[in-house]
Amino acid sequence: MKALSLRFRLLGPVRATHEGAETALGPPQRRAVLAILLLSPGQAVTIATLRERVWTGPPPASATQAIHVHIHHLRHLLRQFTDGADATPPRLVTHPGHAPDQVSYVLHTAPETIDVAVFRGLLEDGETAEGDGDTQTALAHYDTALNLWRGEPLADLQPSPYVRSIRLSLAEIRLDLGKRHAATLLALGAAARATAELQDLHAHHPADESIVVLLARALHATGAHTRALRLITDELDRWEREYGLLPPALLDQRDSLVHGDGRAGVTP
């Protein structure tokens, strides 16, 4: 017998699906408890930690009891996705503690059932393929990783400090992937597509000089040499005006556009 396929999605609103159909998870606090456990798979998470990570401010007196209730319902949910005694479904295990708030919970589930883990794995596989010179395979991994995103991670949870830190961390990884994806497109000769993606990234991250360098390269590759040079020149003017600095990557890219082939600063 095999466990039914229950998959968890955190790269957007917190969701669980079985064979493509969404499974009801309950109220936002319950989804928050589940998400916190999923982000530490196989690791013990104490009630004290859950209280700290679920609530946006000091937890109420009822927080511990609320966590017990949410754990009870989550355990009941997971038990529905077991098919026979030999199955290995996601399971929630309780470990006793020396004090009530040191009772801990461990969620055991395969990494491939959690979209965040799948995303990180695809990014690593893409980087490995890229390092091996297999740009086409790298692009395929990056494409698949990008398609896992459905919006802001943990979008429907309250912005506790923990949730905010997870969102920020994942957003930084997503930005790095966006740059790698565009650079890979450019390496494969898809300059127009790379330009469109980089223009969108630049609009959302205007201060990121590596995006500017990549965008200038992409514009140059499409034949828009004047636009590329103007972009770099304007960015250098802004840096000097606002910070009194002239970033070497931008200077190198300007020199390459003026005197060379526009390919300086290729690393995202």
Paired tokens of 129: 């393929």
pLDDT for the residue numbered 80: 83
**Contact yes or no for 8/15 (Cβ under 8 A):** yes
Long-range Cβ contacts of 21-29 (<8 Å, 24+ apart): 23/77, 25/77, 26/70, 26/73, 28/156, 28/157, 28/158, 29/54, 29/66, 29/70
Of 85-89, 104-108, 113-117, 244-248, least confident by mean pLDDT is 85-89
The length of the chain is 268
pLDDT for the residue numbered 149: 96
> For the chain, which residues make up each domain, given as ranges?
6-113, 115-259
Residue 20, pLDDT above cutoff 90: no
- Model confidence band, residue 88 (pLDDT cutoffs 50, 70, 90): low
Residue 67, pLDDT above cutoff 80: yes
Percent of the chain with pLDDT over 70: 93
The side-by-side arrangement of strands in the sheet containing 45-46 is: 45-46, 104-108, 91-95
Give the pairing of strands 104-108 and 21-23. Answer: unpaired
The side-by-side arrangement of strands in the sheet containing 15-18 is: 6-9, 15-18, 21-23
Give the 3-state secondary structure of the chain.
CCCCCEEEECCCCCEEEECCEEECCCCHHHHHHHHHHHCCCCCCEEHHHHHHHHCCCCCCCCHHHHHHHHHHHHHHHHHCCCCCCCCCCCEEEEECCCCHHHCEEEEECCHHHEHHHHHHHHHHHHHHHHHCCCHHHHHHHHHHHHHCCCCCCCCCCCCCHHHHHHHHHHHHHHHHHHHHHHHHHHHCCCHHHHHHHHHHHHHHCCCCHHHHHHHHHHHHHCCCHHHHHHHHHHHHHHHHHHHCCCCHHHHHHHHHHHHCCCCCCCCC
pLDDT digits over 113-165, tens only? 999 999 999 999 999 999 999 999 999 999 999 999 999 999 999 999 999 99
Residue among 3, 22, 1, 15 nearest 148 (CA): 15
pLDDT for the residue numbered 84: 47
Residue among 201, 242, 14 nearest 115 (CA): 14
What contacts 6, CB < 8 A, 6 or more positions away?
A: 16, 17, 18, 23, 78, 81, 89, 90, 109, 113
pLDDT for the residue numbered 261: 62
pLDDT digits over 183-233, tens only? 999 999 999 999 999 999 999 999 899 999 999 999 999 999 999 999 999
Cβ–Cβ contacts within 10 Å for residue 128, how many?
13
Q: Which CATH superfamily is domain 115-259 in?
A: Tetratricopeptide repeat domain (1.25.40.10)
CATH number of 6-113: 1.10.10.10
Q: Which class for 186: exposed (0-12), middle (13-18), buried (19 or more C-beta within 10 A)?
A: buried
- What is the pTM (predicted TM-score) of this model? 0.87
